Structure 1
Amino acid sequence: VRSEIRWRPLGPVAAIVPWNFPLQLAAAKFAPALAAGNTMVLKPSPFTPLATRLLGSVLAPVLPEDVLTVVTGREPLGARLAAHPGIRHVTFTGSVSTGRAVTAGAAASLARVTLELGGNDAAVLLDDVDVDRIADRLFWAAFRNCGQVCMAVKRVYVPA
């Protein structure tokens, strides 16, 4: 038995990132895409375009030309970008409603889609919990970044 694995880049990847962590999530999307040999079109939230444009200008001198392109604008730019026939993969972080629009746009060209949508996270406390020890951690799990994090704790279950 003989097997063979061939690596081929997908092609252009569209990354649509939210306002709450524009640089961190942009880097988490473009680093693996570029490492795999793909090019990327990066679209930030319309609320944080300057940070992402600055990131693009900082990286431009060290990347090959046209490997990373930053586009900015208001919706429906994300859905239109996802629908572009040259895009082979779309990665999106944001709301469920915008995720649906992005997926619908990508469906026309059968582009692959990766979605990271809003969370609905809970904390479960067991009978043996040390409330004094866990209270501060629960507070920060719920309200870090003013609670504007997809994995922020939204409810706490405690024993009766």
Structure 2
Amino acid sequence: MKVTCRKVTNENNVTKASFSWEQSNNWSGGEKWSKNMTLFLGLLNYVAEKRQHIQAHMKRHRTVILDNPFGKASSDHVLSPVFFIAEQLGFQMIALTAHAEGKFLKDYFPVVFSCRLRQASGSSKQVMTKEKEINQAYFRDHAPISLERLSDVKQMELFT
């Protein structure tokens, strides 16, 4: 199979020239990540459509779980096309990553859980603590009803 690629510039424009897969392997780390992720999502979409006939007007709901997917990618011009394609194909991305900081996490992931190991007091064991961060602005713009569901809801006691 012959694959050609187009490069996305820092200004988020796609070049008119196409490059061979071999040439694209000499691009920067983030650019290589972008083209590889785009191909990966495209292949996942192809396989899913071959297994089950999906009509063009149907809304697709798929999830892809990625373990430390970003590598050298953190610039908007390499992340934006991948997340755009994922959205167009109906993919929700769940990323498990060690990136604690970075504006791109808040830009592309409306809910971020930060899980960290902490030393248990008086023991040699460690416990997991989690902190939940909800990107309020994202949900106000894209899914206001989801924002209500994500707010802190306390479970009622069954027996009192």
Greater relative contact order (CA < 8 Å, ≥ 6 in sequence):
1
Tell me the TM-score normalized by structure 2.
Answer: 0.27
Tell me the TM-score normalized by structure 1.
Answer: 0.27
